[in-house]
Structure 1
Amino acid sequence: MENQLEIIKSNLPYGYEGIIAEKVGCSKGTVHNILNNKPVSARSAYKAKVLSVATQMANEGLKVLNDVSTTAKALESYGNAPK
């Protein structure tokens, strides 16, 4: 699970701990402990919510990057891309 958490964290925006904490209603420390798989977070009541919000944020970022890539390819095929 540590590898999956690292992948998710690498795709989160700057300041994600504060954003997630605000959305979930917990502290940034709790978010940090959960996303770093600290033993103290194993039974946290916030664990499922934090992981859910983090996954959603990472998916939103991935969708935006895919949209940018698709748009760039479309523009390139029409000859509108800078050379």
Structure 2
Amino acid sequence: FARLCGVAPIPVSSGKTHRMRLHRGGDRQANAALHMIAVCRMRYHQPTINYVKRRLAEGLSKKDVLRCLKRFIAREVYHDLKTDLRLT
């Protein structure tokens, strides 16, 4: 599901750093929806605001924090979809 939405992590490490980027393929509309959810949560959802502050204090950039949030939200949506399909 993460690869379908374009948020699957792919290593892009050089010799000195260890970093991940998001998969560029997948459904652009799903990726845009995850991006909008992440941006809105970063602004209005208090647990997410606390998470962003903590990750920024750890030294991550805002772009890296957004990347982590999109992966987390995709995981939440996937589990909700699985649960919803089991109920039908």
**Larger fraction in strand:** 2
Computing the radius of gyration from Cα coordinates, the structure with the larger value is 1
Pairwise same-fold verdict (TM > 0.5) = no
TM-score w.r.t. the length of structure 1 is 0.41
**Larger fraction in helix:** 1
TM-score w.r.t. the length of structure 2 is 0.40
